[in-house]
Amino acid sequence: MSEKREISRRTFLNYALMGTGGFLAAGMITPMIRFAVDPLLKASAGGDKVAVGSVDEFGPEPKRVEFKVHTKDGWYESDSVLSAWVTKNDKGEILALSPICKHLGCTVNWNDNPDYPNEYYCPCHGGRYNINGQQYIGTPPTKPLDEYETEVKDGKLYLGKIKPNPRPGVSE
């Protein structure tokens, strides 16, 4: 036959308190976990490329463009202003270079130094680059200027992420 098993009052209270405590703890911890994981679950809005102007605005002479990029890093969101030097050769190929010198991160300018005409020049330590962003061997930078991914759509130029410039350095 079946034996009736009774639990003591002390055991019942132990189970009841542990169950209630577990329920309350889960109620407090769940929002904390949700807060920690929430940014990972949200879909990021917007595309990864930014329009910087009409393709017709650019030519063989480098033109500096500034554009805003919305950055989202976990819980921190910000709008950053970036810039690029954009050229279009006679074949219609577009090259958008980052203005950040690869030596120590200063900003390079085009045709800024009369001693080095038609070159990108870094005023901090004398870094020099040609129109394709290739560094001159013997100057401080050891790598060419990075370039932006480019896309032409409906007559507008879109810039994307920065990628390394594959061109080697040049000698003078």
Structure confidence by residue, pLDDT tens digits, 17-70: 999 999 999 999 988 888 777 766 665 544 578 888 888 889 889 999 998 888
Residue 147 has pLDDT above 90, yes or no: yes
Domain ranges of the chain: 1-42, 50-163
At 44 the pLDDT is: 54
What residue ranges in the chain does DSSP mark as E strands? 50-54, 63-73, 76-88, 94-97, 109-110, 120-122, 127-129, 147-153, 156-163
DSSP state of 169: P
Residues 6+ apart with CB under 8 A from 10: none
For residue 142, give the amino acid letter.
Answer: T
CATH number assigned to the domain covering 50-163: 2.102.10.10
Token pair belonging to 32: 């904390």
Strand partners, 60: none
Report pTM: 0.68
At 47 the pLDDT is: 57
Sheet containing 109-110: which strands, arranged edge to edge? 109-110, 120-122, 127-129
Residue that wins the pLDDT comparison between 170 and 115: 115
Residue 13 has pLDDT above 80, yes or no: yes
At 51 the pLDDT is: 87
